[in-house]
Amino acid sequence: MSSTTFTEITEPFLRFARSQRPQIDEALERLTHYDGDCPDVLREAIRYSLLAPGKRLRPILVLMAAESCGSDPRRAMPAACAVEMIHAYSLVHDDLPSMDDDRLRRGRPTCHVRYGESLAILVGDALLAQAFEVLSAGITPPARALACCRRLASAAGPCSLVGGQVDDLRASSMAMGPAELERIHRRKTGALFRASLQLGGIVAGASPSEQEALTSYGEHVGLAFQILDDLLDIWGNPTSLGKSAGKDAAQGKPTYPALLGEAASAGRAEQLLAEARGAVDGLKHAERLCALTWYVLQRDH
Q: Could you list the residues that contact ligand GRG (CB under 6 A)?
A: 54-55, 57, 87, 90-91, 93-94, 106, 161-162, 165, 188-189, 226, 229
Choice between 106 and 144, CB closer to ligand GRG: 106
Choice between 185 and 277, CB closer to ligand GRG: 185
47-51: list long-range contacts, CB under 8 Å, 24+ apart: 48/108, 48/111, 48/114, 48/115, 49/88, 49/91, 49/92, 49/105, 49/111, 49/123, 49/127, 50/84, 50/85, 50/88, 50/127, 51/25
* Shortest distance, position 2 Cβ to ligand GRG, whole Å: 26
Question: CA-to-CA distance for 130 and 149, rounded, in angstroms?
Answer: 11
Choice between 54 and 73, CB closer to ligand GRG: 54
DSSP state of 202: H
* Shortest distance, position 207 Cβ to ligand GRG, whole Å: 29
What's the maximum distance between 2 C-alpha atoms anywhere in the chain? 55
Choice between 154 and 211, CB closer to ligand GRG: 154
225 φ, ψ (degrees, to nearest 5): -55, -45
Tell me which residue has its CB nearest to ligand GRG: 54
* Shortest distance, position 165 Cβ to ligand GRG, whole Å: 4
* Shortest distance, position 97 Cβ to ligand GRG, whole Å: 13
* Shortest distance, position 123 Cβ to ligand GRG, whole Å: 12
Choice between 71 and 90, CB closer to ligand GRG: 90
* Shortest distance, position 171 Cβ to ligand GRG, whole Å: 12
CA distances 108 to 41, 66, 112, Å, are: 18, 32, 11
The SS3 of residue 19 is: helix
Cβ partners under 8 Å of residue 257, min gap 6: 230, 231, 234, 265
Choice between 32 and 90, CB closer to ligand GRG: 90
Region for 110 from its dihedrals, namely left if φ exceeds 0, alpha if ψ lies in -120 to 50, beta otherwise: beta
Choice between 67 and 230, CB closer to ligand GRG: 230
* Shortest distance, position 66 Cβ to ligand GRG, whole Å: 19
